[in-house]
Amino acid sequence: MQLTKSSLAIELSKLRLLRKPRPELEQYPTSSELAAQLLWMAYMKGDVAGRVVADLGCGSGILGIGAMLLGAKKVYFVDVDEEALKATEQNIGLVKGVMPKRACFKLLKADISKIKTEDSRVITGSADCVIQNPPFGIQKKHADQPFLKAAFSIANVIYSIHSRASIDFVKRFAAEHSFKVVECLDERIELPKSMSFHTRRMYRADVVICYFRKP
């Protein structure tokens, strides 16, 4: 099945969200539209089809599953939360009918901040590309730092979603690790009420999809 960006978003909209998202991990859902935007950006640059992709902090798997749908050679789903990995595996089953026959994946339970010392070290050097939607730092300031550090240690190409307000910090942090933010794509997202302490039905936020490369 040949997917367009729109049809990819439709397939991703069929995936289930985490039943009990954990506030301390900032497990906010990634919308199918935002995921499709990031994935299509990576796909059009030749960083998905036939490539080994790592989805860090995968949650329910929307980014990695999208990469599988677009023909990734293999996808590593990495998360510290066992329930998130179970949800990812269930979601893969939901779109199995449209998945390329040779689609391959591996689930890895690991703390992103210890990516070099845990089982997930197997992906270091073997992944061509990292895709991720790390925490924005709502619960803990600069919570995206460990994710960026891990991504920089794994692959030379990264696609990552960040708060628009943090872009200057993100660029400086990338430069400190010999990476460059080559392109930024501004998006506005809507986050439905998903945590017990949320008081509004919908929250809006300005985000940016960052494309990093190591020169």
- pLDDT of residue 194 exceeding 60: no
pLDDT digits (tens, 9 = 90+) for 106-165: 999 998 887 765 556 667 778 999 999 998 765 566 678 999 999 999 999 999 999 999
| pLDDT, tens only, 27-64 | 688 999 999 999 999 999 999 999 999 999 999 999 99
Tokens, residue 198: 């949320």
What is the C-alpha separation between 166 and 35, in angstroms, rounded? 20
4 burial class (0-12, 13-18, 19+ CB within 10 angstroms)?
exposed
Nearest partner of 188 among 166, 164, 206, 208, judged by Cα:
206
- Banded pLDDT at 18 (limits 50, 70, 90): confident
Q: State the pLDDT at residue 117.
A: 57
Residue 169 to residue 2: CA distance in whole angstroms? 38
Question: Which domains are delineated in the chain?
Answer: 29-182+207-213 (3.40.50.150)
State both tokens at 92: 């893969």
> CB of 205 within 8 A of CB of 189?
yes
Q: What is the 3-state secondary structure (H, E, C) of 19-60?
A: CCCCHHHCCCCCCHHHHHHHHHHHHHCCCCECCEEEEECCCC
pLDDT of residue 202: 66
In the chain, alpha helices (H): 5-12, 32-44, 62-69, 82-94, 145-154, 167-176
- What integer pLDDT is reported at residue 91 of this predicted model? 98
Distance of CA 176 to the CA centre of its chain: 22
